[in-house]
Amino acid sequence: MERRVPGSEQMNWLRAALLAALISSCAVISSAEDRAIPLNQLRSGSEFLSPELRALQADAFANPGMLWVERGAKLWSTPAGSAGQSCASCHQDAAKTMRGVAASYPRVDAKSGFLLNVEARINQCRSERQAVAPFRYESDDLLSLTAYVNSFSKDYKINVVIDGNAETYFEAGRTLYYRRSGQMNLSCAQCHEENWGKNLYAERISQGHPNAYPAYRMEWQSMGSLERRLRACLSGVRAEMLPYGAQEYRNLALFLAWRAQGLPMESPGIRR
């Protein structure tokens, strides 16, 4: 039995209008975003790990990536350059100032218009503020400081900006993601979108999210950046590897972050 209450006609009209507005706005969002893996079906790479490796990642005392985080903590307050500036001189206590920051990277630097990942942002500070040489890509120093900064975004959800001055980078990243490359003629999407969950030999293909990096990878027996991981896929499809710091990697990283929008950050993650 329907209960009639005074003013219900007006309420129904309002509801219908709200519903119509909601439906039309949803349609706009979904067509603009065009997500191959819906947000509610995102699965972090850690879900494709063995229980042992998942436990290793979760245990801050056993996680080998924490060695780099600890080293990064020391570097944060170590002065560099003739002005004797450390990261802490400007940014004070990273536990307060860096909280959640890495979850919004890669992001466009408003002043230069360049798309920066955390590594590039650190090196920008070194050149512009400390007047010292940038850290070498994949050096323990750069991995350590990046891992330290990222550690304050652990469990923060990835949330990157892809419009405005980020749009060109984002679209270039998307194009690269769907383009076949290498002698094996494969795109990122063919494995990580169309076939995730299936096996290559005995190894399950993940959805290819960037939320663990810098990560300690068992295959490397070391910490490595997202770029290093991307190069491993390029090598697998027998494609030419671009130099570290190449714009293409950053564009791709922005697209990957958007694909993983809402997934919690795990760095320092453990990966196979």
Partner 1 sequence: MASYRIDGDEVRASLTGAAGDAGRGRSIVLNRSEGACLLCHSLPPSELGAEPFMGNLAPSLAGVGSRMTAGQLRLRMIDSTRINSATIMPAYYRIEGLNQVALAYRGKPVLSAEQIEDVVAYLRQLK
**Residue numbers at the binding site for partner 1 (CB under 8 A):** 179-186, 190-191, 194-195, 198-202, 205, 234-235, 238-241
Choose between 128 and 203: whose C-beta lies nearer to partner 1.
203
Choose between 124 and 181: whose C-beta lies nearer to partner 1.
181
Structure tokens at 129: 């503020």
Q: Distance between CA atoms of 25 and 103, rounded to whole angstroms?
A: 26
Q: Distance between CA atoms of 70 and 127, rounded to whole angstroms?
A: 23
Q: At a CB cut-off of 8 Å and minimum separation 6, what does 270 contact?
A: 46, 49, 53, 54, 56, 57, 63, 64, 65, 212, 215, 216, 217, 218
Catalytic residue among 87, 90, 125, 233: 233
Least Å from the CB of residue 200 to partner 1: 5
Q: Distance between CA atoms of 11 and 140, rounded to whole angstroms?
A: 63
Active site residue 125: no
Least Å from the CB of residue 171 to partner 1: 17
Least Å from the CB of residue 157 to partner 1: 31
Map tokens 């002043």 to a residue: 111
Choose between 167 and 194: whose C-beta lies nearer to partner 1.
194
Q: Assess whether the previous peptide bond of 210 is cis (omega < 30° from 0).
A: no
Q: Distance between CA atoms of 45 and 38, rounded to whole angstroms?
A: 16
Least Å from the CB of residue 204 to partner 1: 10
Choose between 60 and 241: whose C-beta lies nearer to partner 1.
241
The catalytic site residues sit at 233
